[in-house]
Amino acid sequence: MPELPDVETRRRYIDATALHQKIKSAVVNAPRMLKGISAKDLISALKSHAFSETGRHGKFLFVRFDDKAWLVLHFGMSGTLAYTKDESAVPEGARLRIDFANGYHLAGIWQRRLGRIGLTVDPATFVKQEGLGPDAMTPGIDLSTFKRMLGGRRGSVKPALMDQKFIAGIGNIYSDEMLFQAGLDPRHAADGLDDDQLADLHRAMRHVLRIAIERQADPGRMPHSWLLPQRRKGGVCPRCGTPLRQIKVSGRTAHLCPQCQR
């Protein structure tokens, strides 16, 4: 579930595992996932360095290994990481494997190959190049900024939240959760929200991300009062018990309570 909370959890995972370990070698087994660099160049760039620092912007994870060199990872729909002691424990589907001098391995696992591996000189440069909006967790997106940003947008509120060039980090699942907690229909016009609705949505955005990160983005650990655990066939609104509805909003499946979300 690689939205912002998932990627943040992976970032902390690297901090707790592979950070400061000397890189001995690496293997890349997904040429199509590489952007702007060959496997050969990536491997020789990493070799004999160590990860010194991690960063994140939206759904992108950055791992520094040199003065002006950061590894960039995007997890697509199902990508994840695993730090293992034995090479035999590296899961099937590892497209990137970094071998450390301590004998451990960090695997980037993209079963479906939907994701991205690259390099950048620093995260800020990358964010600018990609045209990403501010990270959804930055304190800079205060209520008045949020209002101003949404006010200028055509279209529905859900796709606006999910637009990475608008705000970076929110995907299909958590946008549904935010809209549920704010009591808003995902099809509501983005620029037609009143002040109360904007304040509710802003609060829900921050709250959902904060709690989801606290719970390590584990779907099994989300509060029962949330939509997320009910986001399945036969799910009901945790507030009023009404069966949830499933609709398409700008091509994506949205789950909502027809009673609580207007």
Using CB under 7 A as the criterion, which residues of the chain lie in contact with DNA when the complex forms?
A: 1-3, 32, 58-59, 74, 76-78, 111-114, 130, 153-156, 159, 162, 164, 171-173, 219, 233, 248-253
Least CB distance to DNA at residue 68 (A): 23
Cβ proximity to DNA: between 59 and 202 the closer is: 59
Return the HEC string of 181-237: HHCCCCCCEHHHCCHHHHHHHHHHHHHHHHHHHHCCCCHHHCCCCCCHHHCCCCCEC
Least CB distance to DNA at residue 84 (A): 19
86's enclosing H/E stretch is none
Cβ proximity to DNA: between 49 and 245 the closer is: 245
Cβ proximity to DNA: between 113 and 203 the closer is: 113
Cβ proximity to DNA: between 44 and 129 the closer is: 129
Least CB distance to DNA at residue 100 (A): 27
Give the whole-angstrom CA distance, residue 99 versus residue 85: 10
Cα-based angle 147, 62, 173 (whole degrees, multiple of 5): 50
Least CB distance to DNA at residue 248 (A): 7
Phi, psi (degrees; rounded to nearest 5) at 55: -150, 170
Cβ proximity to DNA: between 27 and 114 the closer is: 114
Least CB distance to DNA at residue 52 (A): 25
Fill in the DSSP letter of residue 156: B
251 contacts: CB under 8 Å, gap ≥ 6: none
**Collapsing DSSP states into helix, strand and coil, what is residue 124?**
helix
